Amino acid sequence: MSLDLSDNLNLSDNDAAMLSGDRGEALAMAMRILTKFARVMGASELLDISAAHIDGCLVTGQSSLDLAEALRDRGGQVAVPTTLNVSSLDLLHPELYRGDDEPRARQLMQAYEDMGCQPTWTCAPYQLEARPGFGDQIAWAESNAIAFANSVLGARTNRYGDFIDICCALTGRAPAAGLHLDEHRLAQLVISVEHLPDRLLATDAFFPVLGFVIGTSVDTRVPAVVGIPQATEDQLKAMCAAAASAGSVGLIHVVGITPEAPDLSTALGNEPVAETIIVTASDVVHARDRLSSGDATALSTVSLGTPHYSQAELATLLNMLAGRSVHESIAMYVNTSRDVLGASGGIAAGLSDLGVQLVTDTCTYITPVMKPVTGVAMTDSAKWAYYAPGNLGVDVAFASLSECVESAVAGQILRDSDMWGGL
């Protein structure tokens, strides 16, 4: 077997052994894919990773299953702790599935488990007890998780997609390029929200809208956001998810909050500001309105938890319902992980008693688990609002969580005129 090493990609002895087939067929196959990808990225070498997260466990076509089974059947076993993203099925609530691809979905899930991946089935692996630390080199797929890991945890991963993710997991290696390297993690422009009202900056609903503004403004550049006084992990999660969906964002520095941006100068690498985008009230309103689609007004469905809801978010939802049941005409869904669900105990039971359908292992905008949407689907997630019209063909009303709750209880769309401070 001849190896084409006539380029600037320098392989270690172990890399070369994997590529040549000395470490088995699965590693040879994975390394062939990975080295071609590394060359495309312009990497000069590969680096060790300490963890991986696999997005490719959704059935997106026969190739999804073919590759996983080919690696598995050739003896593939992950070399680092590897978590699994959402699948095409909710294994805890199988009765919800309304599709016709269940056999392939189960085969695909089993193939990844057979390779030693952890059956976490969540798009929010950062909510698991074991998560990467600051500076850890990892190979995560799933856009929101990538942005969160880089931005909030200070771990380092590129935007990996299906097939590349499992190759990194099997080999324990990733291209030394992009956001793995110091020089590509510096902010390239500033996003200023300093002129927005404090009351708006304190609301949960602001963060997904800000993420949408960032995603549609920065392309692949790394932004530094200035003007946010404080933020919870759940708020940053919503921002990262929206930015990574609406754009190609892999890292956001929030000055004074995220670990690589204690101040603006540090985030910029002590370089002068090349560009500043000042976010105005009209920008916020425009972005908020763009997240709603269609002309339908009758509410049919409410879907929350994209990315998966945390335990704190489930508790907030239960408190907002305050013992009131979801209206009989409304189907209300909350996507969360099996780990969060298992730890939520009475909170989850309380939500179920009030008519909330909990969904695990998957998400309602990519898997046919919801009842037919006959009117508007309401959501507090910019990511769900961004993808659902194209994926599901539904009209979406983006709203705050409180608006979603009040609408679900009333059986009709209710808006809070004070929510956006008169904007």
Please tell me whether residues 346 and 379 are part of one structural domain: yes
Distance CA(170)–CA(183), nearest Å, equals 27
pLDDT at 119: 98
10-residue block means of pLDDT along the chain (423 residues)?
Answer: 60 98 98 98 97 94 95 98 97 93 95 98 97 98 98 98 96 98 98 95 96 96 98 98 97 98 98 97 95 88 98 98 98 98 94 98 95 94 97 95 97 87 65
Residue 416 located in a structural domain: no
Phi then psi for 11, rounded to 5 degrees?
-100, 140
Closest CA to 20 of 175, 173, 11, 74: 11
Domain of 322, CATH number, reads 3.30.499.10
Alpha helices in 74-133 (DSSP H): 102-114
Residue 2 located in a structural domain: no
Closest CA to 381 of 304, 301, 281, 290: 304
Please tell me whether residues 95 and 160 are part of one structural domain: yes
Please tell me whether residues 207 and 85 are part of one structural domain: no
Closest CA to 252 of 177, 138, 146: 146
Residue 53 located in a structural domain: yes
Which of 150, 182, 214 is the last residue in one of the domains? 182
Determine the structural domain holding residue 49 and report its residue range.
13-182
Please tell me whether residues 56 and 198 are part of one structural domain: no
Distance CA(172)–CA(60), nearest Å, equals 25
DSSP annotation of 96 reads: G
Distances (CA, A) of 2 to 5, 28, 33, 260, 341: 9, 13, 15, 43, 51
Crossing angle of the two packed helices 25-41 and 13-20, in degrees rounded to 10: 120
Distance CA(169)–CA(183), nearest Å, equals 25
Please tell me whether residues 148 and 236 are part of one structural domain: no
The alpha carbon of residue 284 and the mean position of all alpha carbons in its chain are separated, in whole angstroms, by 22
Residue 419 located in a structural domain: no
Which of 243, 266, 289 is the last residue in one of the domains? 289
pLDDT at 379: 98
pLDDT at 253: 98
Please tell me whether residues 342 and 386 are part of one structural domain: yes
Q: How many domains does the chain have?
A: 3
Residue 162 located in a structural domain: yes
Closest CA to 237 of 307, 153, 332: 307
Please tell me whether residues 280 and 341 are part of one structural domain: no
Please tell me whether residues 171 and 77 are part of one structural domain: yes
Residue 80 located in a structural domain: yes
Please tell me whether residues 326 and 403 are part of one structural domain: yes
Please tell me whether residues 53 and 176 are part of one structural domain: yes
Which of 264, 289, 314 is the last residue in one of the domains? 289
Helix (H) or strand (E) run with residue 335 in it:
strand 331-336
Distance CA(317)–CA(359), nearest Å, equals 15
Residue 67 located in a structural domain: yes
pLDDT at 421: 64
pLDDT at 3: 41
Please tell me whether residues 157 and 20 are part of one structural domain: yes
Query: 307: cis peptide before it, omega within 30°?
Result: yes
pTM of the model: 0.96
Q: Which residues contact 290 (CB under 8 A, 6 or more apart)?
A: 212
Residue 6 located in a structural domain: no
Please tell me whether residues 24 and 171 are part of one structural domain: yes
